[in-house]
């Protein structure tokens, strides 16, 4: 079911790796100027879904539509050509290279022609400074190796690079996972800016508190299936959290933790043995 503004559409995507069914008929759509948060537990299929949309994986079944046309991406480059920019979970960044070199990697502005052309470092530096300052980051030295930047700043280099090179769709796989509150805030602000600039944004996270302030809608994945897409106006933060974790699982965990908190609450004898084994198994399956 696509609306007039839908820009990217995944229809009934199935992806198997040998006998592993990573995605089992997942549909999702994103409009320009919309932030779609893709939520779900570890192994739910979030990265696999966006890798399918980025041309890293080819779907086993299903259809991808961009701007109304059905597309087949043989490589990530095919997706990039259509303006789909992806910042993957494990950032492809060269830690020893300067901020500017990282920003332009493979797309350097040059001066002169043919054999006399060379990297135009001066204009490259000023583009990087401008783009980063739009995100509220003051790059003191564009020659600084990117590996010495903070996690949040690195994410911002990757995001601003995508926007600068004309992305229409921005996909971010867990950009805030390793960040503190303040740095996550910087990245979240930039996601909101990308939306204002008219990009269609897919934002993957585990963290409902990061998702909720910037999301327009949520798609929740569970074990390779979609649990549904919900407009932000229809659901509270608590409801999203409950759907993500499964309310019963959270309630069970809460009472389990309450019990293990107070030694006095531990039941004696065999019953104790059985319940602590169950608790341990439960914990292991969470890892
Ligand atoms: N290349 C692959 N080969 C085999 N199995 C894979 C491959 N990629 C993913 N999977 C499996 O598909 C399932 C979904 O993995 P995926 O990485 O998409 O999960 P995720 O939702 O991104 O999890 P996380 O939150 O931990 O990043 C997992 O069971 C994973 O082991
Ligand atoms: Mg992942």
CATH number at residue 226: 3.40.50.300
Q: Is residue 74 part of a domain?
A: yes
C-alpha distance from residue 14 to each of 31, 53, 65, 160 (Å): 22, 12, 15, 32
Average pLDDT over residues 92-103: 78
- Cβ neighbours around 141 below 10 Å, total: 11
Predicted TM-score (pTM) of this structure: 0.80
* Residue nearest ligand 1's atom 2 by CA: 17
Q: Tell how far the Cα of 44 is from the centroid of ligand 2, in angstroms.
A: 8
- Which of 16-20, 97-101, 236-240 tops mean pLDDT? 16-20
60/52 Cα distance (integer angstroms): 10
Supply 85's token pair: 């920019």
Whether 202 is in a domain gets the answer yes
pLDDT recorded at residue 250 = 62
148: how many CB neighbours lie within 10 A of its CB? 12
Same domain, 90 and 125: yes
Domain annotation covers residue 158: yes
Domains contained in the chain, number:
2
Same-domain pairing of 67 and 191: yes
pLDDT given for residue 165 in this prediction: 85
* Cα(66)–Cα(11) distance, integer angstroms: 11
- Quickly state the pLDDT bin for 15 (edges 50, 70, 90): very high
What's the pLDDT score for residue 277? 40
Residues 255 and 231 in one domain: no
Together in a domain, 23 and 143: yes
Least confident of 34-43, 94-103, 270-279: 270-279
Average pLDDT rounded to a whole number, residues 240-259: 74
Q: Are 217 and 263 part of one and the same domain? A: no
Structural domain range at position 278: 249-286
* Ligand 1 midpoint to CA 124 (Å): 37
CB 83 within 8 A of CB 132: no
Tell me the three state secondary structure of residue 198: coil
Task: Identify the CA nearest to 176 among candidates 53, 87, 50.
Answer: 87
With cut-offs at 50, 70 and 90, classify the pLDDT of residue 99: confident
191 and 275 housed in the same domain: no
Segment 106-152, tens digit of pLDDT: 666 666 666 666 777 888 899 888 888 877 778 888 888 888 887 77
In the chain, % of residues over pLDDT 90: 40
H/E segment holding residue 48: helix 46-53
Residue 64 has pLDDT above 90, yes or no: yes
268 and 140 together in one domain: no
Is residue 270 located within the same domain as residue 153? no
| Mean pLDDT of the region 155-165 | 83
Is the same domain home to 241 and 271? no
**Helix (H) / strand (E) containing 160:** helix 151-164
Distance from the CA of 49 to the center of ligand 1, in angstroms? 9
Helices within 165-268 (DSSP H only)? 181-196, 208-214, 237-245, 247-261
Residue 272's pLDDT is what?
A: 44
Ligand 1, atom 24: nearest CA belongs to which residue?
A: 42
pLDDT in tens, 193-230: 889 989 999 999 988 888 999 999 999 999 999 999 99
Ligand 1 proximity of 46 Cβ (cutoff 6 Å): yes
Indicate the top mutation candidate among 28, 48, 210, 227 to test ligand 1's pocket, ranked by most ligand atoms within 8 A of CB: 48
CA distances from 156 to 22, 99, 106, 133 (A): 30, 11, 18, 10
**Which residue's C-alpha comes closest to atom 25 of ligand 1?**
42
- Read off the pLDDT of each residue in 89-104 and give the average, rounded to a whole number: 77
- List the beta bridge partners of residue 169: 84, 200
Q: Residues 108, 136: one domain?
A: yes
Residues 164 and 202 in one domain: yes
Cα–Cα distance measured from residue 144 to residue 137, given in angstroms and rounded to the nearest whole number: 14
Domain-located, residue 1: no
Tell me the two tokens of residue 279.
Answer: 């608790």
Do 76 and 34 lie in one domain? The reply is yes
* Contact present, 66 and 84 (Cβ < 8 Å): yes
Give percent above pLDDT 70 in the chain. Answer: 81
Q: With respect to residue 142, please indicate whether it lies within any of the assigned structural domains.
A: yes
Please say if the pLDDT value at position 88 is more than 90.
no
């Amino acid at each position: 079911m696509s609306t007039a503004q839908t820009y990217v559409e995944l229809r009934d995507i199935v992806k198997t790796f040998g006998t592993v069914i990573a995605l089992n008929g997942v549909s999702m759509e994103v409009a320009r100027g919309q932030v779609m948060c893709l939520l779900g537990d570890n192994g739910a299929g979030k990265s696999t879904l966006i890798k399918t949309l980025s041309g890293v994986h080819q779907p086993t079944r299903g259809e991808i539509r961009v701007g109304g046309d059905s597309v087949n991406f043989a490589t990530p480059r095919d997706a990039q050509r259509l303006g789909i920019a992806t910042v993957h979970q494990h950032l492809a960044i060269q830690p020893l290279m300067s901020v500017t070199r990282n920003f332009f990697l493979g797309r350097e502005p040059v001066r002169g022609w043919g054999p006399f052309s060379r990297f135009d470092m001066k204009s490259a530096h000023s583009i990087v400074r401008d783009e980063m300052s739009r995100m509220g980051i003051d790059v003191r030295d564009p020659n600084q190796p990117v590996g010495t930047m903070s996690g949040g700043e690195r994410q911002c280099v990757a995001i601003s690079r995508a926007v600068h090179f004309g992305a229409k769709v921005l996909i971010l796989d867990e950009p805030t996972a390793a960040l503190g509150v303040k740095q996550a805030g910087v990245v979240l602000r930039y996601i909101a800016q990308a939306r204002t600039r008219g990009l269609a944004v897919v934002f993957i996270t585990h963290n409902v508190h990061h998702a909720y302030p910037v999301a327009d809608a949520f798609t929740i994945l569970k074990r390779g299936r979609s649990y549904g897409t919900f407009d932000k106006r229809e659901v509270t933060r608590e409801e999203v959290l409950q759907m993500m974790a499964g309310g019963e699982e959270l309630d069970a965990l809460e009472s389990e933790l309450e019990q293990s908190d107070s030694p006095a609450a531990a039941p004696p004898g065999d019953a104790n043995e059985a319940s602590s084994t169950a608790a341990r198994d439960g914990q292991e399956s969470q890892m």
